[in-house]
Amino acid sequence: MSRLKELRKYVDEELMRMEDTKKRNGAFVHLYGVSLAASMISEKRGMDTEIACMAAMLHDLAAYRSGSYEDHAHKGAVLAREILEKLGLTTEEETEIICSAIYHHDDKLVVDSPMDEVLKDADVIHHCMNDLSKEIKDKEKKRYAALRKEFGIDRYLS
């Protein structure tokens, strides 16, 4: 089984424990959506796509587990480390890269390491493109516009 598949099996089981069906569906859609976006962005930028997808699959798990987004990025990095160490799928260096991306993923207005940026951008792609009729959050506007440019989407952005 691939590492990503194995991690997804773990994440799926965790999400299946969420009692609220609507929130559980939203969690699946978001984690898999961000993972797909992370795959596309990391391929475009020549990054490690498997690591980007693994970070994406774990990035909001702390919020789903606790039901609160309060400090969820920092708490999520701690949780991701616990999970990765338990599963033993990644090297220490890979675990660091994944946890750093999760730790920084809510800091959308600053630029961090290249892998941190892949996860932030993948999160923004899913927030903004899952439903184009939804209003873009102020803190994601600049990043979303840059992503559209990077991917050659030059249609007028309303």
Residues that bind Fe ion (CB under 5 A): 60, 123
| Residue 139 CB contacts under 8 Å (≥ 6 apart), including other chains | 108, 109
| Residue 99 CB contacts under 8 Å (≥ 6 apart), including other chains | 77, 80, 81, 84
Q: Please give the structure tokens belonging to residue 78.
A: 């701690």
The residue (of 121 and 123) whose beta carbon lies closer to Fe ion is 123
**Minimal distance, residue 33 CB to Fe ion, in Å:** 9
**Minimal distance, residue 92 CB to Fe ion, in Å:** 24
The residue (of 93 and 116) whose beta carbon lies closer to Fe ion is 116
CB 118 within 8 A of CB 41: yes
The residue (of 93 and 112) whose beta carbon lies closer to Fe ion is 112
**Minimal distance, residue 1 CB to Fe ion, in Å:** 25
The residue (of 95 and 120) whose beta carbon lies closer to Fe ion is 120
Burial of 73 (0-12, 13-18, 19+ CB in 10 A): buried
**Minimal distance, residue 30 CB to Fe ion, in Å:** 6
